């Protein structure tokens, strides 16, 4: 979760500001994000962290940098992946007893609207039982459409129009949950949708599935190495730049390489809830005692791999100055890669996030095509558009989900 955190960042010697977070988000999104929404995100991200901590969520003291974050402001949960958040909020919901009723296996089929106002939702429970919920406020939090191959190809007229986003390119999303159903429901209820062509690819997909199953480092102190053993891009670049560079490599793939300097105990899980021990057992990660041995496992020329590591280490020595790929060592985690053991795993670009969606304002109210709120309809998270522009910064999605999610809840409670 990206947020400017004066206390934690200063303790690590990280220089940052809310304005820098805003500028990076706008620039990373190719300056097509809506300024008001971006300001709301960056201004309120840290208050959201504080609110989450009050609910019981625990964050690590160490601030990291998610891939393509363009800054070191990523907060990671003490517990792995989304579990750090979900089980806490499940416990919060339990406090309300029978005041909260949760319907599983119940896809929404229609948002009910009368006289221009939302009055409830229809659904179908377990595929056969019709359900109608009367409600003057409805919050859409249905996610994106990254797993809907037909739909993403249809709207792919933006930064990836030169790439066929067919089934040969996987997705990090759960197939059933990322079909864009919420967008269809919202449009039928009068919502405006924007930025649908703004689709993000992530460079760390697993070959064959697109899932991010093999995350060998939580930070950015790692190398992007092609099948010739060469570096080919700045490891600190935005995600779209990284993916474009990968597509230009032999086989449209690469090796992610790191050494022990940024590796915790192999048995411990990383921020994605995965241990190196498990990844090694599954054979998805290669491990070597030294660089020469790693080159053999990767089937790349040792001389090329060594030269790549030397290039990176020289960039670390010249901190603050760009190397020939544009990489600038500024992150406090950036360090020379010298000692073994060494680790490597194959990666490919994968569909990760769809930045376009339902048009909202800073109160998380859904807007109609006339720019006015659809009364009683609110939205938050990946189902919305306009926040991340044409490329999302790593770490900004969780900040978006919780910051606008809080606001959507508050607006819904007041039935604005």
> Token digits for 110?
């229609």
**CB atoms near residue 293 (< 10 Å):** 16
Write the secondary structure of 85-115 as one string of H (helix), E (strand) and C (coil).
HHHHHHHHHHCCHHHCCCCCCCCEEEEEEEC
Catalytic residue, chosen from 73, 152, 220, 239, is 239
- Of 270, 277, 333, 260, the residue nearest 64 (C-alpha): 333
**CB atoms near residue 79 (< 10 Å):** 18
Q: What share of the chain is helix, strand, coil (3-state, %, to 5)?
A: 30, 20, 45
The CA–CA distances, whole Å, from 362 to 211, 215, 373, 405, 406 equal: 32, 34, 11, 11, 11
- Of 386, 346, 372, the residue nearest 33 (C-alpha): 386
- Is 222 a catalytic site residue? no
What three-state secondary structure class fits 70? Answer: coil
Alpha helices in 165-275 (DSSP H): 181-188, 239-247
Q: Hey, which residues are catalytic here?
A: 239
């Amino acid at each position: 979760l990206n947020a400017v955190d004066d206390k934690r960042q200063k303790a690590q010697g990280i220089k940052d500001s809310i304005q820098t977070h805003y500028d990076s988000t706008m620039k990373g999104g190719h300056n097509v994000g809506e300024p008001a929404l971006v300001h709301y995100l960056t201004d309120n991200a840290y208050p959201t962290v504080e609110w989450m901590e009050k609910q019981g969520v625990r964050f690590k003291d160490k601030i990291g940098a998610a891939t393509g974050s363009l800054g070191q402001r990523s907060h990671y949960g003490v517990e792995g992946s989304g579990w750090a958040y979900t089980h806490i909020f499940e416990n919060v919901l339990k406090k309300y007893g029978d005041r909260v009723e949760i319907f599983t296996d119940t896809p929404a089929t229609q948002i009910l609207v009368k006289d221009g106002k939302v009055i409830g939702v229809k659904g179908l429970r377990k595929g056969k039982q019709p359900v109608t919920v009367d409600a003057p406020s409805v919050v859409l939090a249905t996610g994106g459409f990254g797993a809907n191959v037909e739909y993403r190809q249809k709207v792919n007229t933006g930064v990836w129009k030169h790439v066929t986003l067919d089934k040969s390119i996987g997705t990090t999303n759960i197939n059933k949950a990322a079909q864009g159903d919420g967008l269809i429901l919202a449009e039928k209820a009068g919502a405006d949708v924007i930025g649908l062509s703004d689709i993000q690819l992530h460079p760390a997909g697993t070959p064959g599935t697109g899932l991010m199953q093999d995350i060998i480092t939580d930070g950015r102190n790692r190398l992007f190495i092609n099948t010739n053993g060469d570096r080919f891009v700045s490891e600190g670049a935005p995600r779209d730049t990284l993916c474009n560079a990968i597509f230009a490599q032999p086989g449209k793939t690469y090796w992610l390489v790191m050494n022990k300097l940024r590796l915790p105990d192999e048995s411990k899980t990383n921020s994605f809830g995965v241990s190196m021990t498990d990844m090694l057992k599954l054979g998805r990660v290669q491990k070597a005692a030294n660089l020469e041995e790693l080159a053999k496992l990767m089937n790349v020329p040792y001389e090329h791999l060594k030269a790549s590591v030397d290039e990176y280490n020289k960039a670390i020595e010249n901190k603050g100055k760009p190397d020939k790929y544009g990489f600038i060592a500024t992150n406090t985690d950036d360090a020379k890669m010298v000692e073994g053991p060494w680790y490597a795993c194959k990666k490919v670009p994968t569909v990760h996030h769809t930045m376009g969606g339902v048009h909202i304002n800073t109160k998380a109210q859904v807007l109609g095509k006339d720019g006015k709120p659809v009364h009683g309809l609110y939205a938050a998270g990946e189902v919305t558009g306009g926040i991340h522009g044409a490329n999302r910064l790593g770490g900004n999605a969780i900040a978006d989900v919780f910051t606008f999610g809080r606001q959507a809840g508050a607006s819904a409670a007041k039935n604005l």
